[in-house]
């Protein structure tokens, strides 16, 4: 029996928020005649444009983008749905004789698609509401309890990240197993799906400056007005409403911050916390190329074997 030809690896560009990966990826996608599959958990929402830093109209005109604007902000969307959409997008590209370039900074999407997802229980709205209410009554209680029940998960989840805390407790209640034990397959040394991954990196000082500029630009571009329009036009789901930028604007509109300066500073602070969480995930990736952003598209293309 003849040997099967090797499977061509899928190409992936990832990195922390504000690393500049999108612009670099658009350049190499244009050079190599590839189409971009967005690997970002917030660009899936329509009308959430400013705060998610979606590719510009010019970037989308230059290179076709997929997995953007899939659902309304009030709709539920999860990793399983994204993986299914990514599979369909890949099949559509293959049918047209096109190749993909995955681009985005959501590590869970990357891990789930390229290492495989474990079956997990469906959401239980009543249980989730009860858990959230308990934490609202006694702030920090869910994280404290998780420290006892699943220390590994508690170490990875910020005490104020209510969405992930609730999910960790929900999985434990429904399955009797900790969420960290179910996620250990993400630490496997290899990839379940052949891929070549490049991580765009910047210094902490550089990221801090870019986050400062990004927060200023988003607010100047009308992030508050965009948030208000979404609230009036169906509102946010629990997941979309937690998106950095929108969550802080919603709090500002409810009078929780004293002035626009505090709003800006909250967005910057929470973005830095997100970057730290992303960095923790990205450090766990096996066999990836680390590409300094200063190297530009040429360095990224070389790391992906496209030079």
Taking 70 as the pLDDT cut, the residues of the chain under it are 1-6, 118-120, 182-189
Classify burial at 29, counting beta carbons within 10 Å of its beta carbon; exposed 0-12, middle 13-18, buried 19 or more. buried
Note the pLDDT of residue 1. Answer: 42
Nearest-angstrom CA–CA distance, 257 and 273? 19
Classify burial at 108, counting beta carbons within 10 Å of its beta carbon; exposed 0-12, middle 13-18, buried 19 or more. middle
Domains of the chain: residue spans and CATH:
10-118+185-303 (3.40.50.300), 125-182 (1.10.20.140)
227, containing H or E segment: helix 223-232
The string of pLDDT tens digits covering residues 148-203 is 999 988 888 888 888 889 888 988 888 888 888 766 666 666 788 999 999 999 99
Note the pLDDT of residue 32. Answer: 97
**Cβ neighbours around 15 below 10 Å, total:** 27
Note the pLDDT of residue 221. Answer: 97
Note the pLDDT of residue 4. Answer: 58
Note the pLDDT of residue 179. Answer: 82
Note the pLDDT of residue 119. Answer: 61
Note the pLDDT of residue 157. Answer: 87
Query: Quick check: 63 and 36 in contact, CB under 8 A?
Result: yes
Note the pLDDT of residue 176. Answer: 84
The string of pLDDT tens digits covering residues 200-231 is 999 999 999 999 999 999 999 999 999 999 99
């Amino acid at each position: 029996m003849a040997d099967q030809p090797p499977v061509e690896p899928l190409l992936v560009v990832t990195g922390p928020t504000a690393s500049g990966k999108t612009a670099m990826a658009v350049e190499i996608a244009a050079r190599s005649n590839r189409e971009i599959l967005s690997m970002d958990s917030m660009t899936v929402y329509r009308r959430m444009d400013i705060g998610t830093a979606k590719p510009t109209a010019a970037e989308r005109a230059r290179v076709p983008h997929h997995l953007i604007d899939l659902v309304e902000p009030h709709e539920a969307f999860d990793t399983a749905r994204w993986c299914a959409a990514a599979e369909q997008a890949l099949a559509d590209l293959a049918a047209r004789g096109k190749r993909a370039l995955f681009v985005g900074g959501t590590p869970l999407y990357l891990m789930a698609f390229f290492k495989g997802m474990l079956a997990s229980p469906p959401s239980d709205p009543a249980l989730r509401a009860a858990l959230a209410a308990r934490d609202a009554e006694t702030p920090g209680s869910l994280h404290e309890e998780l420290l006892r029940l699943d220390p590994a998960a508690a170490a990875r989840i910020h005490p104020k990240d209510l969405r992930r805390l609730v999910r960790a407790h929900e999985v434990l209640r429904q399955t009797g197993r900790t969420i960290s034990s179910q996620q250990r397959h993400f630490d496997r040394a290899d990839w379940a799906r052949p891929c070549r991954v490049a991580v765009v990196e910047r210094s902490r000082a550089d990221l801090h400056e870019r986050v400062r500029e990004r927060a200023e630009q988003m607010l100047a571009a009308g992030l508050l007005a965009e948030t208000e329009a979404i609230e009036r036009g169906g509102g946010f789901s629990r997941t979309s409403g937690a998106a950095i930028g929108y969550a802080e604007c919603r709090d500002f509109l409810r009078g929780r911050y004293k002035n626009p300066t505090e709003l800006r500073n909250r967005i910057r602070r929470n973005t830095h916390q997100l970057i730290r969480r992303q960095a923790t995930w990205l450090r766990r990736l096996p066999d990836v190329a680390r590409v300094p952003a200063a190297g530009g598209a040429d360095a990224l293309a070389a790391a992906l074997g496209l030079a």
